[in-house]
Amino acid sequence: MNQRLKLGVLGSGKGSNFKAIMERIIDGWVPAEVRIVISDVPDAGILSYARDFQIPGLFVNPGKYRTRLETEVEQDIVRLLQEASVELVVLAGFMRVVKEPMLRAFPRSIINIHPSLLPKYRGLEAWKQALEAGEAVTGCTVHYVQAAVDAGEILGQLQVPILPGDTPESLHARIQIAEHDLLPEVVRQIAEVRSKLPDSFAARPDDK
């Protein structure tokens, strides 16, 4: 019986989090499979990794907006994800806000990795915000995606100390190491929970 959770991964950047998920799938720790990778950036590293791992990878032209997708484009992405039978959408460095078409199509089935200990430091360059605020500790968070940006139920967090002499770059690099542990682990936990649910509940495990 194939109980592997079917993932769709969206990313705009180098794709190190996608790579981390793939490595943990391949070594058998995460009972999931990535069905499709989608990027809004044509030459994003995440699409190169998709090729390396022989996963279908698609560039989707985001349209005229800078921080979100055009509605028709988002509807196209929903269709692509549904055609690939995706059960959980993973935003792994996807630099656009997800709106109603995606939220409606995948209720409580979209997760995001954010480089701070939410609810602190929402938004861009969260590691820099934490550094500039003089924090001793920051980290990363995986959360369900909802309409409000970088909000949504928190599924897991890892702390990362801020060290004397840290630069934004050195701190972000250390947060990313933590991300590569946290994101596959949360995917594993969701896959485990859903594999125990009857099929009719699998798409919406705990809607309230």
Q: Going along 152-198, which residue ranges are E strands?
A: 154-161
Verify binding: residue 115, ligand GRF, rule CB under 6 A.
yes
x/- mask, ligand GRF, residues 40-59, rule CB under 6 A, reads ------x-------------
Catalytic, 172? Answer: no
Cα–Cα–Cα angle for 133, 138, 144, rounded to 5 degrees: 115
What is each CA distance from 27 to 21, 142, 195, in whole angstroms? Answer: 10, 22, 19
Using DSSP's 3-state secondary structure scheme, residue 6 falls into strand
R_g (Cα) of the chain, nearest Å = 17
| Binding test (CB under 6 A) with ligand GRF, winner from 7, 8, 10, 15 | 15
| Binding test (CB under 6 A) with ligand GRF, winner from 5, 9, 17, 139 | 17
Token pair for 173: 């690099």
**Which span sits near ligand GRF by CB under 6 A: 32-40, 56-64, 107-115, 150-158?**
107-115
Least Å distance between CB 198 and ligand GRF? 33
Least Å distance between CB 88 and ligand GRF? 17
**Which span sits near ligand GRF by CB under 6 A: 10-18, 62-70, 72-80, 192-200?**
10-18
DSSP class of residue 150 equals T
Q: Is the peptide bond before 161 cis (omega within 30 degrees of 0)?
A: no
Verify binding: residue 11, ligand GRF, rule CB under 6 A.
yes
- Identify the H or E element spanning 172: helix 168-195
Subset of residues 142 to 171 that bind ligand GRF, contact rule: CB under 6 A: none
Binding site for ligand GRF (CB under 6 A): 11, 13-17, 46, 92-93, 113-115, 176, 179
